[in-house]
């Protein structure tokens, strides 16, 4: 299973048998959190930066591929000595998210009864994930973050950190997300979830002991997501109507763009669990900072952190209008910092130079 090899991860057990009280009801526990860190925590523990990953990311934000880490760090270009998040200055910590499959408790984890959670894993929200991260900070002796940084699902958590714990966040860098999931974002996520659940090998979520899991459904879900992470212009420029190699589309062969989507699906199968994709996608659909707080304006009025809002010029999944609305509702109405990119939503991972300038400026 993904996450079986520890790699550079460290693990903390939280909440004990009484468990974490969940926003949607019920409890989950004990909860194990996997995390990685870079740099040194200062004696006053006042230089800690929390970096939060997106849907299929994990705690390996920086560093090479290796045992336990099938790919290089997803933000290696920004984290390290002399880089935008300078580990000679900052103690950088990246936890794997609650519900994930890279060492933190999720559907593929073993429940207290000795069986995998599978279909029994409860509904979780972004706020539940932040409660787990806050408990991790307590366990590590970090009372206040010098900065919380995240994009996409990580941006949702960065935003919730500022609302739920305003006195614990000095700076917040929120990237490519809005105050709440939109109807279109929910629709796109729900189709990906349906693709996984429609796979005959999904077995209602209890496939861990079976010879085959819902690989086809997960690969299809990833392909659907990949289209929304990129732009029509980029796909046209890269692939157009070209066939894949010597294949002939009129005779059952593939177009190059079809091969590209299949490749991304196959890559994900090697490192991710289908149930986690479902659980985390639905948590993203539940994202709404205003829920139970009198609306987004009232919720965001409580933010004390110096907030930087970053958007991608061509993001068609989390459009700039969402970041603009978010900025209007935040105290001080910060200017939205826009990264010009042809890539779309994935630009916060791809546009290393532009992102480095904005993140370094926010941390200066």
Catalytic residues: 152, 315, 345
DSSP of 11-79: EEEESTTT-EEPTTSSEE-SEEEEEEEES---TTS--EEEEE--TT--S--SS--BTTBSS--TTTTTE
The sign of the CA dihedral 169, 147, 319, 190 is negative
200-213 per-residue burial string, b: 16 or more CB within 10 A, e: under 16: eebbebbbbeeeeb
Rounded to whole angstroms, how far apart are CA atoms 265 and 269? 6
What pairs with residue 48 in β-bridges?
A: 91
* 230/287 Cα distance (integer angstroms): 22
User: Of the candidates 337, 340, 314, which has an alpha carbon nearest to the alpha carbon of residue 324?
Assistant: 337
**Residue 196 structure tokens:** 């996984």
- DSSP-derived 3-state class of residue 75: coil
Tokens of 156: 């949702």
Of 97, 129, 100, residue with least CA distance to 275: 100
């Amino acid at each position: 299973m993904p996450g079986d090899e520890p790699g550079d991860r460290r693990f903390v057990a939280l909440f004990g048998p009484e468990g974490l009280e969940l926003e949607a009801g019920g409890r989950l526990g004990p909860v194990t959190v996997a995390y990685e860190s870079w740099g040194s925590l200062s004696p006053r523990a006042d230089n800690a930066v929390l970096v939060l990953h997106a849907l299929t990311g994990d705690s390996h934000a920086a560093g090479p591929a290796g045992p336990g880490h099938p790919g290089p760090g997803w933000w290696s270009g920004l984290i390290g000595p002399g880089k935008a998040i300078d580990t000679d200055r900052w103690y950088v910590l990246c936890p794997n998210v609650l519900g994930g499959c890279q060492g933190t408790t999720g559907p593929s984890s073993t429940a207290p009864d000795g069986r995998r959670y599978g279909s029994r894993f409860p509904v979780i929200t972004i706020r539940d994930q932040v409660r787990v991260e806050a408990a991790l900070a307590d366990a590590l002796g970090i009372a206040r973050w010098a900065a919380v940084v995240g994009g996409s699902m990580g941006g949702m958590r960065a935003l919730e950190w500022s609302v739920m714990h305003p006195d614990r966040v000095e700076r917040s860098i929120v990237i490519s997300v809005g105050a709440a999931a939109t109807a279109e974002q929910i629709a796109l996520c729900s189709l990906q979830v349906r693709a996984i659940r429609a796979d005959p090998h999904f077995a209602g979520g209890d496939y861990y002991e079976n010879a085959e899991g819902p690989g086809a459904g997960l690969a299809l879900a990833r392909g659907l997501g990949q289209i929304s992470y990129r732009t029509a212009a980029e796909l046209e420029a890269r692939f157009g109507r070209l066939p894949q190699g010597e294949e002939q589309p009129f005779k059952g062969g593939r177009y190059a763009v079809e091969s590209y989507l299949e490749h991304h699906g196959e890559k994900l199968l090697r490192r991710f669990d289908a149930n986690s994709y479902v659980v985390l996608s639905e948590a993203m659909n539940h994202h709404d900072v205003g829920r139970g707080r009198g609306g987004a304006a009232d919720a965001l009025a409580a933010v004390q952190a110096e907030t930087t809002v970053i958007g991608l010029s061509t993001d068609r999944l989390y459009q700039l209008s969402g970041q603009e609305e978010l900025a209007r509702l935040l105290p001080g109405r910060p200017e939205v910092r826009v990264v010009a990119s042809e890539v779309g939503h994935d630009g916060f991972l791809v546009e290393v130079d532009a992102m480095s300038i904005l993140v370094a400026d926010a941390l200066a």
